[in-house]
A and B are shown apart, each in its own frame.
Chain A
Amino acid sequence: MKQVFSKHYWNDKDISLLVGQILRIGVLLASVTLIIGGVLYLTVHGKDPLPDYTKFIAETNANTTLSGIIAGVMQINVPQIIQLGVLLLICTPIVRVIGSLVGFIIEKDTMYIIITLIVLSVIAGSIISGLKG
């Protein structure tokens, strides 16, 4: 187990492969969720007239908060299934940054551990400042 955390076990190339894997899985998960949600949406609402997108009405909490989206998915509500796919897509690059952080920790690169943590805290700050509960 110990060798998993050693620098020799992981070289730069392995880390970039791991990061590539994260991206591929993230994009795949998001796409599959969106396809499922999209097909359901078109089956139910395909023949309905288009909502009035010319006027901006902010989405409701069900579509904008994590709790709202998860509650909707549990009840198999179609819009929230799509929003879950949206959420997975947004998370993909963030998880990639976390993957790079793990890489820098393994390389014991203190300067870049700090730099990556700054980037992550800016994103975290952005999530918290926009929270509506």
Chain B
Amino acid sequence: MTILTFTLILFLGTFIAGLLGSLTGLGGGVVVIPLLTLLFHVDIRYAIGAALLASIATSSGAATAYVKEGITNIRLGMFLEIATTIGAVVGALIAIYMPTNTIAIIFGVVLIFSAIMTLRKKNEHALAGGSPLAEKLKLNSTYPVDGQKVPYKLTNIVGGFSLMGVAGVLSGLLGIGSGSLKVLAMDGLMKIPFKVSTTTSNFMIGVTAAASAVVYLQRGYMDPGIAFPVILGVLCGAITGSKLLKKMNPKTLRLIFAVAITLVALQMIYNGVQNKF
């Protein structure tokens, strides 16, 4: 295979990854790792480096659409970033010493979990009575619903913060955005309406990924020949996806994609157990 063929296939593949990632809410990074390792047999360390860049690209690309609407809770994002950035740096350091097959197996398990999470029932209600800690940290805010400002309050701050730390470790270890775990912490534990948690999680993914990306860049995990088609492909896919999302309801797509991703995840786990990485 020539470099040109590889670049074109990789661009096309990551374009689809970015497109599906943004339509289903799974993110662009998670599809990049199986694409590179299972299809192109690229070493998983290069794949993790590329996936981190894909996560930053999707997050920054999509965020330009979100900030206009003023839904993102910047204070909440920043507060939780303490947990995710520390976690991400720890995860990136563990990754250097962990066998690649173990990383592949953990990745598979997280992927299945993420696929299930895209099908969950969303939390659409604003919580009226929050916890005192949320009040103290000024985390309660409002968000627009049909042109009106609806106030919402937060609860279980400590639980959410801890789960964010775990999300950060996984993000640093696997090169993914851990968006599903972030949303679980915010939707499930802190009871934030999903419109707010989706955009806030997206804001956080970029910062978390950047914290571990600097470690990976310096450790030589980022190859220029892989980086440019992956970033440009995922970015174009994510922007196309966010435009399509305004016109369609991807419910069926989400289900098909969740099943497909689970199969890919099982393949990753199988190869990991067989020591193929």
Contact = CB atoms under 8 A, between A and B. Distances in A.
Interface of A: 12-13, 16-17, 19-20, 23-24, 26-27, 30-31, 34-35, 37-38, 41-42, 45-51, 53-60, 63-65, 78-80, 82-83, 85-87, 89-94, 96-97, 100, 103, 109, 111-112, 115-116, 118-119, 122-123, 125-127, 129-132
Interface of B: 1-4, 6-7, 40-43, 45-46, 53, 56-57, 59-61, 63-64, 67-68, 70, 72, 74-75, 78-79, 81-82, 85-86, 88-89, 92, 137-138, 203, 206-207, 209-215, 217-229, 231-232, 235
A54 B41 contact: yes
Nearest to B61: A27
A35 B141 CA distance: 40
Given A54-B42, A111-B138, A122-B85, A93 B231 contact: no
A86 B63 contact: no
Contacts of A13: 70
Contact of B57 (A27, A83, A129): A27
Nearest 7 CB-CB pairs, A to B?
Answer: A58-B220, A93-B206, A59-B220, A82-B224, A20-B67, A130-B218, A46-B4
B217 A90 contact: yes
Contacts, number: 204
A59 to B, nearest CB: 4
Contact of B231 (A34, A46, A97): A34
B214 to A, nearest CB: 5
A101 B241 CA distance: 31
B contact patch SS: helix
Contact of A64 (B70, B88, B219): B219
30 contacts: A19-B67, A20-B68, A24-B64, A38-B232, A41-B3, A41-B224, A46-B4, A46-B7, A47-B3, A47-B4, A51-B225, A55-B43, A58-B220, A63-B224, A64-B222, A83-B224, A90-B210, A93-B60, A94-B207, A100-B78, A111-B137, A119-B207, A122-B82, A122-B211, A123-B210, A125-B89, A126-B85, A126-B88, A127-B218, A130-B215
Given A47-B4, A64-B220, A90-B56, A126 B211 contact: yes
A123 B78 contact: no
Contacts of A89: 53, 56-57, 60, 231
B43 A56 contact: yes
A126 B215 contact: yes
A20 B86 contact: no
